[in-house]
Copies of this chain bind each other. A is one copy, B any other.
Amino acid sequence: MKAKVIIIGNELLYGRIRDTNGPWLAKWLDNQGIELEEILIVKDDEKDLLDAFKKAWASTELIITSGGIGPTLDDMTKGLMAKFFNKELIPSKKAEAIVVENYKYYDRSWTPELNTYHHIPKDFIVTPNPKGLAPGLVYQEENKMIMAAPGVPRELQAMAEEEFLPLIKDYFKGRFEKKYRTVIRTYRVPEEKIFGELCPTLWNDLSKFGSVSSLPQIIGVDIIITMSEKDATKNEKLIKEYIAKSNLAEHVWQWGNEKLPELVVKEALEKGIKFSFAESCTGGLTASRITDVPGSSGVLLSSLVTYSNDAKTNILGVGGQTIKKFGAVSIETVEEMVVGVRDKTGADLALAFSGIAGPTGGTPLKPIGTLALSWANKENVNSEVFHFSGDRERLKLRFSEMGLFKLLQMIRDY
């Protein structure tokens, strides 16, 4: 079963905001066993929108749109859907009841003077909005379905889960085919070297099990094999045996799809390990990524973001002489930082980051992208200087990823 997504909004096309609904719907449809063929981002423009509806309606089975169903004058999705399907916009008792209910959720009352939420195109289905005011709209005809959701992500998500999914399942009964993906995560070998030198037949050999893709990541390359769910157990076993005998074996650090922060929290929870960070150049990003994971309060004690040199001294106890002699971005400073945060917070494991994220502050010896990283358990302190490239935000992410990778290794060795 196939679907297309249409994301509507001018502000997405001049770069003011980033669309998050497309990626969310992509993952959500995949989980339902529905193949997403394309995501189209278009303007609030009559011609462009009608054209988008026309092309999608002619070429797929399910269309989900996001945006343009609110109360302001640039909200034109409803009107244009009515026009496209040649349906009159009419007041609907059912829509009115739903809108009144939506408003009640926010302790507000709806009147027809506020907006025309109660008008819907004839023959359309209207759905509640579990997290907002504007109702959803659905139209089905000739084994095809189009569904209009709001652009606000939490509203779209709740509407998709609670309102759209039952309608989809009912209308497209038995048409779903769940996919399974094996992810082979490799470490520090470039994509080209894997497929060119190390394992020249890898791509073709893996293609026997499903469709292969390769995705360079921050600390290595992910190789993904997508297959039908029914063959997954058998195939994954065969793939693992194949990889174990291949030249790639020693470069694989994980099978699976979990992000590093999720893995770190999961494996630390399993072993009852508590950790802390001292962050300078990463500025709290490492802690923020860890605290995005539910359950992280069981493993993260503290992260001391010591951005200024004074804070490194006052908060972490780094010697003023150390910073003066070796610089803030040095093995010597991060090793004092890591010991400081470990002992101050009573952590089992600790990381300390000091580096140069740019856009200024680089020197010939310590260019932008330099990271001094230290990792410690109760007995040992290790450290290394790394060099990465990228802009400020990218560098912060790479620095933090390298730290979490070292942390994961310490957790596994614990």
Contact between chains at B27 and A23 (CB < 8 Å): no
In the assembly, what is the distance between CA of A18 and CA of B23, in Å? Answer: 6
Report Cα–Cα, A18/B215, bound state, in Å.
Answer: 12
Interchain CB contact under 8 A, B40 and A38: yes
Complex Cα spacing A211 to B76, Å: 14
| Chain B contacts for A43, CB-based, 8 A | 37-38
**Closest beta carbon of chain B to A7's beta carbon, Å:** 8
Is chain A's interface secondary structure helix, strand, loop, or mixed overall?
Answer: mixed
The interface on chain A, measured as residues whose beta carbon lies within 8 A of the other chain's beta carbons, has a size of: 106
Chain B nearest CB: distance from A191 CB in Å?
Answer: 7
Q: Does A122 count as interface, using CB distance less than 8 angstroms?
A: no
**Among B15, B29, B257, B297, contact of A24 (Cβ-Cβ < 8 Å):** B15
Residue from A16, A226, A296, A304 whose CB has the most chain B CB atoms within 10 Å: A16
Considering only residues 33-55 of chain A, those with a C-beta below 8 Å from chain B are 36-44, 48, 52, 55
Contact of A26 among B13, B215, B281, B283 (CB under 8 A): B13
Q: Are A15 and B28 in contact (CB under 8 A)?
A: yes
Complex Cα–Cα for A58 and B185 (A): 41
27 A–B contacts from the bound complex (CB under 8 Å): A10-B213, A11-B215, A12-B39, A13-B38, A14-B30, A15-B24, A16-B224, A37-B43, A40-B40, A40-B41, A72-B214, A152-B216, A282-B288, A282-B291, A283-B287, A287-B305, A287-B307, A297-B307, A301-B308, A301-B311, A302-B304, A302-B308, A303-B305, A310-B346, A314-B344, A314-B345, A315-B315
Interface residues of A (CB under 8 A from B): 10-20, 22-30, 36-44, 48, 52, 55, 70-74, 113-115, 131, 133, 152-154, 179, 181, 191-192, 195-196, 203-204, 207, 211-216, 224, 226, 257, 277, 279, 281-288, 290-292, 294, 296-297, 300-308, 310-311, 314-315, 344-346, 357-360, 389-394, 396
